[in-house]
Structure 1
Amino acid sequence: MVLLVDGSSYLYRAFHAMPDLRAVPGDPSSPATGAIRGMINMLQKLRRDVRADYVACIFDAPGPTFRDALYPDYKATRSPMPPDLRAQIEPIHEVVRLLGWKVLNVPGVEADDVIGTLACMATARGCQTVISSGDKDLSQLVNPQVTVIDTMNDRTRDVAGVEAEFGVPPQLMVDYQTLVGDAVDNVPGVEKVGPKTAVKLLKEYGSLDALVARAHEVKGAVGENLRKALDWLPKGRALLTIRTDCELAEHIPGLPALDDIAVREGQDTEALKAFYEKYGFKGLARQLDTHAVPPELLEEHQSQRKLGPGPAAGGLFDEPDLSGRSQASTLHYDTVFTWAQFDEWLAKIQAAELVAVDTETSSLDEMQAEIVGLSFSVKPGEAAYIPLAHSYGDAPAQLPREEVLARLKPWLEDAARPKLGQHVKYDRHVFANHGIEVQGYAHDTMLESYVLEVHKPHGLASLAERHLGRTGIDYETVAGKGAHQIPFSQVPVDKAAEYSCEDSDQTLDVHLALWPKLQADPKLSFIYGLEMKSSETLYRIERNGVLIDAAVLARQSQALGQRIMQLEREAHDLAGQPFNLGSPKQIGEILFVKLGLPVVKKTASGVPSTDEEVLEKLAEDYPLPAKLLEHRGLSKLKGTYTDKLAQLALPRTGRVHTHYAQAVAVTGRLSSNDPNLQNIPVKTAEGRRVREAFIAPPGCRIASADYSQIELRIMAHLSEDAALIRAFREGEDVHRATAAEVFGVAPAEVTSEQRRYAKVINFGLIYGMSSFGLARNLGIDNAAAKNYIQRYFERYPGVKQYMDETRLAAKSRGYVETVFGRRLYLPEINSPNGPRRGGAERQAINAPMQGTAADLIKLAMVKVQDTLDAQGRRTKMIMQVHDELVFEVPEDEVEWVRVEVPRLMAGVAELRVPLLAEIGIGSNWEEAH
């Protein structure tokens, strides 16, 4: 097998996919390293996934090629390489060589041509070739011996794949590309001949040569444009054809035998370590300190571990130790089939200081998942799997599930026995489905990562690779993927055991690497403690769920359906013809061709856009776009909520049990799904009515408590602006106070319009709104908006100073912090890309406020739940939405909730301005507002 990597494609992908990493984190003057790290990651993964005897990574060499001589405008429209990427080219070449790859960059020859020539040579020698690239041009090289894989998009372009994707077989790809042209390389095709037309012509005529020979037969504009291009087409084809006959011998001696790109044994560990340390890749360097086993050999070793009633066979290599601890040199993974083994492991579990627990289940739906098996790890390298419900044909006899769980229940429910997991909220639900309320979860590796490195992935596989240098078995390896995926109960026990033991073992290992870092920083340790308490409270909220009135939703769906049909009729009347209101293409034809409305902006392909922003702009002057917007909004509301909410209710409870994703938003905010409670469009009357279906059961009421103007209060605290602080301390209407300051009038003289302007300014500046954005939002000219912002900053100089200082601090440190110390990383704050950098600067202003608000609602959530528990209240917390907590309250506790919940929420922190929580009570969620 020959593996050829399109290095030029890889390095651009690595540069744009990775954040703006630096050799010294947060120091913009140190070398950029994002593309280097991205290349290392991609190449190491590729070597694990594709086993090859010969490997080469091919880059474009600087300087002109034969194509430039053939056509001086070749690639003339390409933007120059970003300076930060150019500076990483030589280090990338260096590390690719150190990783054991042959690096090729042939003067005067493009990378594609080198790849084409090597692939042709390999085919002649009887070898299969895999080309790794995202460049579709390489599809013309595909044949039964040559395959192109696009790892970034999980796409394989073999003979069938090319035809399925482009509509023509690989041998016609050059003809296809010649007709279509290549805008990226500035190679014209036939005017107005796109992919569909090119495919149609080639299917009809068989080839480009046959088409050219019969060009006089092609009718219409296509024929006319084809005939105009006849003189150009030979040159276009020459430019687009990948050469397979380049003279490479002087650059690659010994190529006829492929010896020069044969896989090398081992790697230059010392040189690689020095490289990693130079560019700040400390984790990779520490991995090399432990052993220099190539990743693909380590994976092979791991895949050969034997599992059975006794310990797994010892390994050939130590696992990498990246946390300064002593780690076992072999892995001992047991599979528990007998009560004697169970008793032995139960004793180990009971004696251990900390135990990692992992569940294997029948479903990802945490409210309905049942346990298929359990694994435990008591120390690094030692774990056991207890299969309980594997049910395939020749599955081995397993211990009875209910009896095993009954024997484990006292330990699981003992708060004095510390436990550890990865995403423990899910496991809490799974155990609860079997009547076990787990106590004593002391740590969650997902949340440890979320607090320490919020901007990075928090899945166990990513954590193990990043912090331990360990690559494990993924779920799809044991269970398959897509339509062919099998339930975990059908996974063979030996595979399930290895997979699950590895999960619990890695969870323990990752914790041992991350926990000392959290302990070393009191602020992060506090945030982590808050996240752990929040996880337990969210589990309670999810478990409680909220009662849904299906009849109310059915009536709303019917009313919405009638209004949607009416809007369709009205839109057809305004257009003068029927059309599909869900088709952007038909909408574009009606708006811009038939009605001649102005084009606001175009899509990337040059077609007039019909997105929401465009329709909102057009709706200011034209009736049809307004109808389209209303139709879209109501259709989404019906499809997402009124039609589906009742379907999402759990039959045994009649309630919807949303899932709160705790480790997703970089600001610390929660998100919810199935259903998404955060995005109900409450700015419209129809959207607010959806909340009427969230009801209290008989004998109870719904209470909704939320913080008032929380982010403005946080801004006052952070900026220490005297005027803002005074307004909040004196209980003024802060928008009226702002209007009085900006418009230079007494507060009593502020008009409703001036207050509206001030409200937009107050919230707009928090979110980094520019004068242009403010002008568009208020419907005023840019100069007036700029003047308002200037006057705002004159009246609130502390806000301006805070914003300026925060930007500078973010650029220096690479992150900002909430009031409580949560770190919010900004990988693009020093990016050479202007829009990315600007976005990060706006985020630097807003993130501390959003993040502090998230911290406060979590503190409130935990405090209220603790109080409910301590006082034995029957009130249930059933939802958390943005800055709002929603409760199901027995009638006899309504007055207590009305008084105590706002008091508890306001008292969770002392800021420079008072916190204020307000509460409403009703028979449903909407009525409680």
Structure 2
Amino acid sequence: MAQKKLLLIDGNSVAFRAFYALYRQLDRFTSPDGLHTNAIFTFKNMLDAIMKQTNPTNVLVAFDAGKVTFRTEMYQDYKGGRQKTPSELSEQLPVIREMLKDLGIKSYELKNYEADDIIGTLSKMGEDAGYTVDIVTGDRDLTQLASDKTTVLITKNGVGDTEAYTPAHMKEVNGVTPTEFIDMKALMGDSSDNYPGVTKVGPKTASRLIQKYGSIEELYEHVDEMKKSKLKENLINDKDKAFLAKKLATIDRDSPVEVTLADTKLQEPNIEDLRNLYERLGFKKFLAELDVNGTTSNTPETEKYEYLELTKENIIELDKISEKEVTFYLAMLGDNYHLAPIEGFSLKVGNKIYVSKDPVLLQENSLRQMLEDKTIKKNVFDIKRTYVGLHRLDIKAEGLDYDMLLASYLVNNENNSNDLGEVAHLYDDYSVKTDLEVYGKGKKQAVPDDNDFFEHLAAKVAVIEKLKTPLLEKLKDHEQDDLYETIEIPVSFVLAKMEITGIKVEASVLNQLGNDFAVKLQELEHKIYQQAGEEFNLNSPKQLGHILFEKLGLPPIKKTKTGYSTSVEVLEQLKMKSPIVSEILDYRQIAKIQNTYVKGLLDCIQPDGRIHTRYLQTLTTTGRLSSVDPNLQNIPTKTEEGKQIRKAFVPSTKDGYIFSCDYSQVELRVLAHVSGDEHMQEAFKSGYDIHAHTAMKIFHLDSPDEVTPLMRRHAKAVNFGIVYGISDYGLSKNLGISRKQAKTFIENYFEQYPQIKNYMDEAIKKARENGYAETIMHRRRYLPDIHSKNFNVRSFAERTAINSPIQGSAADIIKIAMINMQKKLDELHLKTKMVLQVHDELIFDVPKDELDTIKKIVPEVMQSAVKLDVPLIADSNWGHNWYDAK
């Protein structure tokens, strides 16, 4: 007879996690009649994963009946600090219960008791009846129920991602048994449930005491024997709180439930009711799971594809293929495709899908020729990833023609997942699972068995091809086909080549800098300790807070739950009060550079002596590129120590140069263009210093000679602040001036540049009408919050409507420049390589004999990238390393 297994689910906890998993997409998940559905949708996905993981015979989902329970009678403020359940979640809870009923799963709530008590009681009943029990929750309080027969699965990040708590795991994590955990909670209290424990007793102290005494009863039997200490004093003073906390923390395993184990038996689902419910909610994925025989599964069935496993023996089949369009997917385990293991591939040719776990087969003549043939168009998920992956196999891919990821990103760049399954789900196609569902996550990530892996690969190429036409049609409807074809696709090839080339980095320079920084840190430590009058842990906010605010008596600016805040923002405000603060800030800055850039970059140098960063082309909503593994766009430039890092970035030839060319004030030039403001356009056309020009306007000066450095700094802040929709409050804070003065600056600015104010008003109006903002190249940024009733949320959307066209257009301009620049380098057969892009700056590795040519052509190409109503200016510098090129 099969083992009986009881699954108990904490309904409120799982629903809460489900709601916030797709909280950012709240507006996208609504039913045809306007009901929010994000929690219902994710709850069902989580339920599917849980059912597959546990395979139960009996299931019950427990819900809280309300806020008033026997615990609130004991302690009125129990759970009193919790925020009210969002109305968008509350409206979904009854539908989740309805869905459970239709799925044949029992749900239950009990007046005056919590879901925890129902679960505690049913788990005891199950254990006594010989069941094995699994409990699923996000609340670690339920780990007290773990036993030899009961496992508590704590939900984590992804769907189906849980941590299993057994008595052994409890001992490992908390140092105590499950029942001792109740006593631990009694000493600690619980800020989430809003009940106190013993003053200043945290997890470590509580665990140590319970490990020693076994329970709070035994602890208090021996408390008088303890040495005199603040802990002893707190234990004695808070004895009543500790015993109350134990009562509140203890789950009632004998609550008067009116449900039996027989009631929890998993029933057959009601297919018709489920179909009606899914249609009402607009759940196409779950409708697709209801098969024609009237059955449903708790795990989505991937559409079955006929595929053939490719081997050396049957690869000859591909020699006979005459198609001029194929679909290809290269599978890699991990995000960093420069290093991730290549696990296999799939290829769709006509109606046949070929799959393989052997990437070396791609080097066989028939496959290599196909992949390197320009005349055969290839549909792929991600051109850049595919190009780099094939390059690692010594294959120069040609004919990569369609990129599903880029097409989807342009259609709606709010959804920037790079998982093929997740992207397909955005377009209501659930024929392919996500990589998380197939491979797992983090250390658990692994390639599944052949059948599952091959089916996953087959589904991927099928969906790439299937969604091609609808996605390209959406781009055409949005007038984005030109943006896709002439900017995003070409720049993906440019980026792929840049990434493959990489940039040479001298480890010896970084090591020397590391030694220099270590000496500086020691010197600063010594100075700080001298001024503090003692040594302490500089990296401990608690110890630093004690020194600054208690010992030295500096005024505390902000407090956190754990004590005084010692954030950079706080320390900046205290800088003038004591020299120790400036030294602490310097210490932190140098320590960050040491850890993040010296040590971090050393770890990223590959055997070829280069760093090969990855550019994320589909991450930002503005179209700007982001650099990761490592991030080379964020190397600090405001401090000398930060700038020194760039000395390690050198040309590939001994006497070569690093050449840098940077757009000058490109966002303000775009603003002048899109606003049509005559005064600002005239300033740029005449070659004026735009910040000095603005200073003259806002301070009512007659000559640029009257502009002081401070006035120019203030004007610069206004210029860039306006682009980002800054308020008088924000400007006053940035400049350290009164709000009234900041307001005057902004009023004077708009008086002198009236068409910029018109542009801003018009940008907000258009966004309200269209639901999105748009760049000059038709890149869209959707703004669902533009109609929000919440002032702060709506204001942010309005500011975004103003600055997205500016930032996005600047991003488009540098991409066009990169495409044109690569064409020019190829056309002239130069050995110079474009190696980095840092926002508005391009960096090149230049042989000595090509420097004069590069000096001429790079600014020319960048300045002619697009035609604006004002000139584009690009400033260049060069040197024997990146530091000297600035």
Same fold (TM over 0.5): yes
Paired residue secondary structure (1:296) = coil
Match of 2:306 in 1: 332
Match of 1:223 in 2: 232
Map 1:887-902 to 2 at 5 A: 887-902=844-859
8 Å CA contact 1:8–1:60 kept in 2: the answer is yes
Does residue 607 (structure 1) correspond to residue 563 (structure 2)? The answer is yes
Counterparts of 1:412 and 1:583, CA distance in 2: 56
Match of 1:463 in 2: 423
Map 1:691-770 to 2 at 5 A: 691-696=646-651, 697-698=653-654, 700-748=656-704, 749-770=706-727
Q: Match for 1:431: what amino acid?
A: L
Match of 1:921 in 2: 878
Q: What is the Cα deviation at residue 570 of structure 1?
A: 1.5
Match of 2:604 in 1: 648
Q: Larger deviation: 233-242 or 825-834? A: 825-834
Does residue 174 (structure 1) correspond to residue 131 (structure 2)? The answer is no
Residue in structure 1 matching 2:246, options 194, 217, 237: 237
8 Å CA contact 1:337–1:387 kept in 2: the answer is no
Match of 1:190 in 2: 198
Q: What is the Cα deviation at residue 155 of structure 1?
A: 2.5
Map 1:57-76 to 2 at 5 A: 57-62=61-66, 64-76=68-80
Residue in structure 2 matching 1:356, options 301, 313, 328: 328
Counterparts of 1:525 and 1:120, CA distance in 2: 65
The normalised TM-score by structure 2 is 0.90
Q: Note the alpha carbon deviations across 1:218-241, whole angstroms, 9 max, x for none.
A: 443333333333445444333332
Counterparts of 2:751 and 2:487, CA distance in 1: 38
8 Å CA contact 1:708–1:918 kept in 2: the answer is yes
Match of 2:639 in 1: 684
Counterparts of 2:169 and 2:121, CA distance in 1: 22
Counterparts of 1:838 and 1:925, CA distance in 2: 40
Counterparts of 2:669 and 2:710, CA distance in 1: 23
C-alpha spacing 1:180/1:800, structure 2 compared with 1 (3 Å): farther
C-alpha spacing 1:835/1:237, structure 2 compared with 1 (3 Å): farther
Match of 1:375 in 2: 346
8 Å CA contact 1:58–1:104 kept in 2: the answer is yes
Map 1:378-397 to 2 at 5 A: 378=349, 382-388=352-358
Q: Larger deviation: 504-513 or 49-58? A: 504-513
Does residue 637 (structure 1) correspond to residue 570 (structure 2)? The answer is no
Q: What is the Cα deviation at residue 162 of structure 1?
A: 2.6
C-alpha spacing 1:721/1:99, structure 2 compared with 1 (3 Å): farther
Which residues of structure 2 form unaligned runs of 5+? none
8 Å CA contact 1:21–1:827 kept in 2: the answer is no
8 Å CA contact 1:26–1:811 kept in 2: the answer is no
Q: What is the Cα deviation at residue 563 of structure 1?
A: 1.8
Counterparts of 1:7 and 1:290, CA distance in 2: 30
Match of 2:320 in 1: 347
Match of 2:280 in 1: 275
Q: What is the Cα deviation at residue 537 of structure 1?
A: 0.4
Which residues of structure 1 form unaligned runs of 5+? 303-318, 320-329, 390-399
Match of 1:308 in 2: none
C-alpha spacing 1:852/1:33, structure 2 compared with 1 (3 Å): farther
8 Å CA contact 1:518–1:524 kept in 2: the answer is yes
8 Å CA contact 1:701–1:921 kept in 2: the answer is yes
Q: Note the alpha carbon deviations across 1:326-382, whole angstroms, 9 max, x for none.
A: xxxx4222122343x11113434x425332232558x876456776644312357x4
C-alpha spacing 1:559/1:663, structure 2 compared with 1 (3 Å): same
State how many pairs are aligned: 873
Q: Note the alpha carbon deviations across 1:781-832, whole angstroms, 9 max, x for none.
A: 3333333234333433443444445445546655432222222234655667
Paired residue secondary structure (1:613) = helix
Q: What is the Cα deviation at residue 759 of structure 1?
A: 0.6
Paired residue secondary structure (1:664) = coil
Cα RMSD (Å) of the superposition?
3.4
8 Å CA contact 1:413–1:438 kept in 2: the answer is yes
Paired residue secondary structure (2:379) = strand
Counterparts of 1:570 and 1:81, CA distance in 2: 51
Map 1:297-446 to 2 at 5 A: 298-299=300-301, 319=303, 330-339=304-313, 341-348=314-321, 350-351=322-323, 353-359=325-331, 366-367=337-338, 373-378=344-349, 382-388=352-358, 401=361, 404-446=363-405
Paired residue secondary structure (1:468) = coil
Residue in structure 2 matching 1:122, options 123, 126, 129: 126
8 Å CA contact 2:669–2:870 kept in 1: the answer is yes
Counterparts of 2:138 and 2:833, CA distance in 1: 52
Q: Note the alpha carbon deviations across 1:366-423, whole angstroms, 9 max, x for none.
A: 456776644312357x42224447xxxxxxxxxx758x43332222111111112233
C-alpha spacing 1:290/1:22, structure 2 compared with 1 (3 Å): farther
Counterparts of 1:285 and 1:494, CA distance in 2: 25
8 Å CA contact 1:22–1:31 kept in 2: the answer is no
Paired residue secondary structure (2:346) = strand
Q: Match for 2:296: what amino acid?
A: P
Q: Match for 2:400: what amino acid?
A: Y
8 Å CA contact 1:831–1:837 kept in 2: the answer is yes
8 Å CA contact 1:452–1:524 kept in 2: the answer is no
Q: Larger deviation: 746-755 or 842-851? A: 842-851
Q: What is the Cα deviation at residue 521 of structure 1?
A: 2.9
Q: Match for 2:870: what amino acid?
A: V
The normalised TM-score by structure 1 is 0.86
Does residue 773 (structure 1) correspond to residue 730 (structure 2)? The answer is yes
8 Å CA contact 2:117–2:255 kept in 1: the answer is yes
C-alpha spacing 1:577/1:520, structure 2 compared with 1 (3 Å): same
Match of 1:448 in 2: 407
Q: What is the Cα deviation at residue 119 of structure 1?
A: 2.0
Q: Larger deviation: 237-246 or 671-680? A: 237-246
Match of 1:8 in 2: 12
Does residue 625 (structure 1) correspond to residue 599 (structure 2)? The answer is no
Q: What is the Cα deviation at residue 760 of structure 1?
A: 1.4
Counterparts of 1:828 and 1:120, CA distance in 2: 48
8 Å CA contact 2:431–2:459 kept in 1: the answer is no
C-alpha spacing 1:143/1:638, structure 2 compared with 1 (3 Å): same
Counterparts of 1:592 and 1:164, CA distance in 2: 37
C-alpha spacing 1:287/1:918, structure 2 compared with 1 (3 Å): farther
